[in-house]
Structure 1
Amino acid sequence: MTVKEVLSVLEALAPLSYSEDFDNTGLLVGDYNTQVKGILVTLDTLETVVDEAIENHCNLIVSFHPIIFKGLKKLTGKSYVERTVLKAIKHDIAIFSIHTALDNAWNGVNAMICEKLNLNNRKILIPQEGTIKKLITFVPHKDAEKLREGLFKAGAGAIGNYDNCSFNIKGIGSFNGNEDSNPTKGKKGETHFEEETQIGVTFSKHLEGIVLHALFENHPYEEVAYEVTTLENTHQHIGMGMVGELSEAISEEAFLVLLKKTFKTGVVRHSALLGKPIKKVAVLGGSGSFAISAAKSKQVDAFVTSDLKYHDFFQAENQLILADIGHYESEQYTKELLVAHLSKKITNFAVVLSKVKTNPVSYF
């Protein structure tokens, strides 16, 4: 199995097309065509992690955070980033980062936080924009069913809990092929009128190439008339953060104890307690100050995230509790998620969970 084939398994979980613009996801070091001998899954790729990969005979590191985030102009070993990359290259170890693609995935980082806290009725906190596209095409009546089935098989027409969704309008199409054309209907140089069905289907952004391939494969015309547009509709399963509910409301103190115990953190930094029970909770792994307003708009009782600054806590404004559990702590279970997914899909070589603790923050 090649690196490229392994990465396609990961993209099924979290398509890279949903990565944030500022991010650097994908294959950062290595060759797509390299045969994989073993996979090491980690939160961060450091020199010690590369050493661990060597020891476990793994030549592919699947990392949540990217070791290369900003452009590297030199590789001289002066920084921990350069030393890590150099060691990986020297030992023919590929490095892949999934980062914000997994942040935005329905079964990603925030789903793991919800699972650990036993939150139910989950919904996306901040849906990502521009993730739904619409295809409109025109096909002869007798070919409409075949084309629809092809599009459905490619993943088009899936909306929430429904699939095989389409809208169909019957009408008359016209066309006139020039001397270089090879029409399947009508004759060259003559305007032809054909009874056609207009088919409209929506699909997730990352499926566009597959859906268009299905369109061309199943359409009878030499020149296929079609339109692809990006919709403003909200995708239910793509975006940052999640909102869920505890099965029963608990006190603020009990909730903070739950956070500290569940995420094994040295301290939970939080805004002022309000003397209200906690039931509805928003979560966002990693740095989440940008989502405070969104959490307040959802009228949650608490927002669990990390990397909050001094002035961020003022934004609670006695409407909710802001709880900072630590960056590493909020994302630590991501490794388990990736190992479980890869182990289920790939059985012909080892998928190893890194034992190196890469948290750069210590508590005294």
Structure 2
Amino acid sequence: MLSPRKMPKISDIIRAIEQFAPPALQESYDNAGLLVGDQKQEVTGVLICLDSTEDVVAEAIEKNCNLIVAHHPIIFGGLKRLTGSNYIQRTVIKAIKNDIAIYAAHTNLDNVKAGVNKVFAEKLGLENLKILSPKSRNLLKLTTFIPEEQEEEVTEAMHQAGAGQIGEYKNCSFRILGDGYFQPSENANPTIGEAGGEIEKVKEVRVEVIFDAHRKGVVIAALKNAHPYEEVAYYLHALENTNQETGSGMVGTLPKPMPMIDFLKKMKTDFRLGVIKHTALLDRPVKKVAVCGGSGSFLLRSAIGAGADLYITADFKYHEFFDAENRITIADIGHYESEVHTKEIFVEILSKNFLNIAVHVSQVNTNPVSYI
């Protein structure tokens, strides 16, 4: 946390958000990050929103906020010109003219376990939460060899950098004692032995730890900084394992089963929904519920495979509703409605890390869909 007397820069805000939702977790089609502005600029105030629009920029001007933090990127595809011919161009032009930066955390905030879908699920009262579709091939295993006397110090440094977190367990590692052999060259500066000396035999501990691939740089840096050797021996393996800490959607259970219609009515009231589009209600109480904020039709098979009675998301197309096939009830509550709670995540991150900046939640309703 910055000193209360020091005004944070936009880069400080970005760093705090990206520690929570690393950019490496965004999907390949996404465009999260700083979209407009200078990250070296000091922050006068932050406006939190779901969508950046002209009205939101106007609100930022009124509230003396020079940084807008949004969930949806206002620039998704490439901008070939800035002539004000559509709302995207007009929003960007207005932000630039008024020296307002725009930052977005999108699918990286969706894919982190504590992100969009966890908040969504908790608002529904779900318990025993798990990622609905965990990602694979984004874990690394690091193996290194540490002198026995420095084993705890070096391993702890890697743990502090984020290695060894497996689900609800932290500081996980595998260790085995053995003999390490090496012979320093004449140009070496060895911790043990002498330059140009004889072959050395040292009691070393082989340590193995697992970590998210996006942490590779900081974990290796921590290893090298804490390790006593001039040349640190280590190697990395990419793992096929699914990563229970990252992925799409969330699934959980209700404390007590409820009739499906009662649950939908309660959700409509609690979320202030104008309408819920749904498939046929199953002839059984709802106990297990799957969710995905935003467009989630791609996770229907995962929801069925997880044994969910109900799948709550948005943007289902007409023919996709048929895919429920009476195995699950689909409830489409609307894109905006399923993600509007995202603003609370940004507020919590900034409130915890910065005591001396004004953080405002946008009062502009950016939902482009209305109901009669």
Task: Using structure 2 for the length normalisation, give the TM-score.
Answer: 0.94
* SS of aligned partner of 2:299: helix
Whether 1:70 aligns to 2:77 is: yes
* Structure 2 gap segments, 5+ residues each: 1-7
The match for 1:291 is: 299
Is 2:257 the counterpart of 1:249? yes
The one-letter amino acid paired with 1:206 is H
Q: Report the counterpart of residue 28 of structure 2 in structure 1.
A: 21
Count of paired positions:
364
Distance 2:369 2:220 in 1: 47
Contact 1:269/1:324 (CA < 8 Å) preserved in 2? yes
Does 1:7 pair with 2:11? no
The CA deviation at 1:8 is 1.6
1:284 aligned partner, one-letter code: C
User: In 2, are the aligned partners of 1:133 and 1:230 still within 8 Å (CA)?
Assistant: yes
Question: Are 2:186 and 1:182 equivalent residues in the alignment?
Answer: no
Residue 232 of structure 1 aligns to which amino acid in structure 2? E
SS in 1 for 2:237: strand
Give CA-to-partner distance per residue, 1:52-97, whole Å, 9 cap, x none. 0010000010000000111112122212111111111111111110
1:36 has 2:46 as partner? no
Looking at structure 2, the residues matched to 133 and 32 of structure 1 have their Cα atoms a distance apart, in angstroms, of 31
Checking the alignment, whether the CA contact within 8 Å between 2:135 and 2:244 is kept in structure 1 is no
What corresponds to 1:341 in structure 2?
349
Counterpart of 1:232 in structure 2 is 240
* Residue 135 in structure 1 maps to residue 142 in structure 2: yes
Whole-angstrom distance in 1 between the partners of 2:255 and 2:168? 23
Cα distance in 1 for residues equivalent to 2:94 and 2:185: 61
Using the TM superposition, give the Cα deviation of residue 255 of structure 1 relative to its aligned residue in structure 2, in angstroms: 2.1
Q: Does 1:271 align with 2:271?
A: no
Matched, 1:262 2:270: yes
**How big is the shift at 1:196?**
1.6
CA deviation after TM superposition for structure 1 residue 167, in Å: 1.2
Deviation at 1:315, TM superposition (A): 0.9
Q: Deviations over 1:107-151 (max 9, x none)?
A: 211112112211111111011223322111112222222211222
Using the TM superposition, name which of 303-312 and 233-242 deviates more: 233-242
Report the CA distance between 1:318 and its aligned residue. Answer: 0.9
Give the RMSD, CA atoms, in angstroms: 1.5
AA aligned opposite 2:55: T
Q: Is the Cα contact below 8 Å between 1:259 and 1:268 reproduced in 2?
A: no
CA–CA distance in 1 between the matches of 2:332 and 2:97?
A: 39
Query: SS at the partner of 1:319?
Result: coil
Mapped contact 2:45–2:358 kept (Cα < 8 A): yes
Give matches, 1:158-177, under 5 Å: 158-177=165-184
Partner of 1:308: 316
Give 1:230 shift: 2.4
1:55 aligns with 2:24: no
Instruction: Write out the 4+ residue segments of structure 1 that deviate beyond 6 Å after TM superposition.
Output: none
Counterpart of 1:101, as a letter, is: N
Q: CA–CA distance in 2 between the matches of 1:350 and 1:101? A: 25
Name 1:87's counterpart in structure 2. Answer: 94
> Any stretches of 5+ residues in structure 1 without a counterpart?
none
For residues 192 and 223 of structure 2, what CA distance do their matches in structure 1 show?
A: 18
**CA-to-partner distance for each residue in 1:200-223, whole Å, 9 max, x for gaps?**
111223322221111111111111
The more displaced of 52-61 and 240-249 is 240-249
Alpha-carbon distance in 1 for matches of 2:314, 2:168 = 32
* DSSP 3-state at the match of 2:89: helix
Q: 2:305 & 2:116 partners in 1: Cα distance?
A: 22
Q: CA deviation at 1:35?
A: 0.5
Q: 2:39 & 2:187 partners in 1: Cα distance?
A: 41
For residues 184 and 229 of structure 2, the distance between their equivalents in structure 1, rounded to whole angstroms, comes to 11
Contact 1:133 1:203 in 2 (8 A): yes
Q: Paired residue for 1:324?
A: 332
The CA deviation at 1:31 is 1.4
Matched letter for residue 36 of structure 1: V
Greater shift, 179-188 or 99-108, is seen at 179-188
Which of 161-170 and 97-106 deviates more?
A: 161-170
Question: Structure 2 CA distance, aligned partners of 1:107 and 1:31?
Answer: 28
| Whole-angstrom CA distance in 2 between matches of 1:18 and 1:47 | 28
* One-letter amino acid of the structure 1 residue matched with residue 291 of structure 2: V
Secondary structure in structure 2 of the residue aligned to 1:337: helix
8 A contact 1:129–1:232 mirrored in 2? yes
Question: Residue 240 of structure 1: SS of its match in structure 2?
Answer: strand
The answer for the alignment partner of 1:100 in structure 2 is 107
Q: Which residue of 2 aligns with 1:157?
A: 164
Farther off after superposition, 116-125 or 194-203: 194-203
Judge which range, 329-338 or 158-167, deviates more.
158-167
Q: CA 1:273–1:149 in structure 2 vs 1: closer, same or farther (change >3 Å)? A: closer
**Hey, what's the Cα distance between the residues in 1 that align with 2:152 and 2:352?**
35
- 3-state SS of paired residue (1:285): strand
Equivalent residues of 1:37, 1:57 under 8 A apart: yes
- The TM-score normalised by the length of structure 1 is 0.96
